Structure formats: structure tokens, C-alpha cells
């Protein structure tokens, strides 16, 4: 199934290169848009065909405003009706297709991006050193390597506050994502041969 998610714009819609008919989701359908513009766009989208074919370019068109939840219910119902029965790809208890280790590293990396300045997060290297489970509590030791001593001090922050804030935020997010209690311990090091 193909989806095209666009702002209502005639030049943009006509420039879409599609090999098969798609479901068209029109974003930002709010009172701020000129109703005449939206109506023109809907007429165009309904009559558009695929190149070298008389097949409709869009199987269905869904004007919606996600924040206001306008049009979302119709889209969800239609999508469910179009779904084909089949085997589940993942077990219902699986929160992500990523391994738990990859999810943990990605979540901690995300906190580095949120809390640290500019290019610093891109220079940090993380790897899981140890994983243990005690009474349902998952304990993960992660080594984070910086390029320099000054970067190490930035990651730690004043009296460890920055590192503590990032680890606590990552633990909370992992708890929400996995439903598991996960404790992260971070071991910091400076690369012996920074690149």
C-alpha cells in the first residue's frame, strides 16, 4: 500500500511520481486554509491519473488535521478495512523491531542529542559492556567514550548533574517503551587514539 502525505498544493501533487495508486493524506486541514483552495485541490486529486494509464492516481483522499483529530477516525477505519489478514510479524509483547540492546543505546544517544551542545553528541561512542537481571530489574552497563578530557567534563556536568539527567531521562523513556524496569550505569572514558 502506498501513502502520499502532502500539504494541499496543486504543483506538488501533480509532480508526485507514482508507480501505483496511493492513499492521499492531506495535512493541515484547518480553518486557516482557504476553503476554495482546498476544494480545487480535492477536485484535481480526485481526477488525477497515473502516467500512461487511466488508473486513478489516488485510491482515496483523506483531508485531516491530526492535532484536532479531524478526519483521523475515517482514515483509521478505512485503513483497517483495507488490511489483509495474516500472521503477525512480531509478538504482541515486542515493543520494537530493534533488539533491546539497540533500543537502549539509541535511547541514551537521543538524550545526548537533547541535552548536549552542537557537535558533541556526534563524537560520542557508546557500547553495552554488561547486562544482568536481578529480580526482574534489568541492569545495563554502558561505556561512553569521548574524544577528549574536556568533552568528558561536559558530558558529566557540574557534580555529575548532566550525566544523571540524561541517564534518568533515558531510563524513563525505556520504561515507557518496554514496560520493563531498566537501570543504566554509564562508565565514561576518553579515547586513547581519538579520530
Could you tell me if 8 and 57 lie in one domain?
yes
Q: pLDDT per residue over 41-73, tens digit each?
A: 777 766 766 666 766 667 777 777 767 777 778
Q: Which domain holds residue 10?
A: 2-82
Burial class (CB in 10 A: 0-12, 13-18, 19+), 112: buried
Q: pLDDT per residue over 73-132, tens digit each?
A: 888 888 888 778 888 777 666 666 778 899 999 999 999 999 997 778 888 999 999 999
Residue 65 maps to a domain: yes
pLDDT at 137 over 80: yes
Q: How many domains does the chain have?
A: 2
Residue 92 maps to a domain: no
Handedness of CA 73, 74, 75, 79 (dihedral sign): positive
| Beta pairing class for 22-26 and 58-63 | parallel
Helix (H) or strand (E) holding 75: helix 72-82
pLDDT band at 142 (very low <50, low <70, confident <90, very high): very high
Among residues 82, 112, 141, the one where a domain terminates is 82
Among residues 82, 117, 133, the one where a domain terminates is 82
Amino acid at each position: 500500500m502506498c501513502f502520499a502525505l502532502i500539504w494541499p498544493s496543486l504543483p506538488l501533487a501533480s509532480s508526485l511520481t507514482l508507480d501505483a495508486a496511493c492513499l492521499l493524506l492531506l495535512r493541515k486541514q484547518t480553518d486557516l486554509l482557504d476553503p476554495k483552495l482546498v476544494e480545487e485541490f480535492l477536485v484535481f486529486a480526485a481526477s488525477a491519473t497515473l502516467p500512461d494509464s487511466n488508473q486513478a492516481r489516488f485510491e482515496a483522499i483523506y483531508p485531516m488535521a491530526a492535532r484536532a483529530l479531524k478526519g483521523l477516525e475515517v482514515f483509521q477505519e478505512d485503513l483497517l478495512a483495507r488490511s489483509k489478514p495474516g500472521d503477525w510479524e512480531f509478538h504482541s509483547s515486542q515493543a520494537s523491531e530493534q533488539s533491546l540492546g539497540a533500543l537502549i543505546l539509541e535511547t541514551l544517544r537521543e538524550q545526548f542529542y537533547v541535552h548536549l551542545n552542537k557537535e558533541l553528541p556526534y563524537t560520542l561512542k557508546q557500547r553495552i559492556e554488561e547486562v544482568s537481571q536481578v529480580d526482574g530489574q534489568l541492569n545495563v552497563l554502558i561505556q561512553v567514550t569521548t574524544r577528549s578530557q574536556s568533552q568528558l567534563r561536559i558530558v558529566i556536568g557540574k557534580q555529575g548533574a548532566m550525566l544523571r539527567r540524561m541517564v534518568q531521562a533515558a531510563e524513563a523513556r525505556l520504561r515507557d517503551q518496554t514496560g520493563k524496569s531498566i537501570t543504566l550505569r554509564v562508565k565514561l572514558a576518553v579515547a586513547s587514539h581519538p579520530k
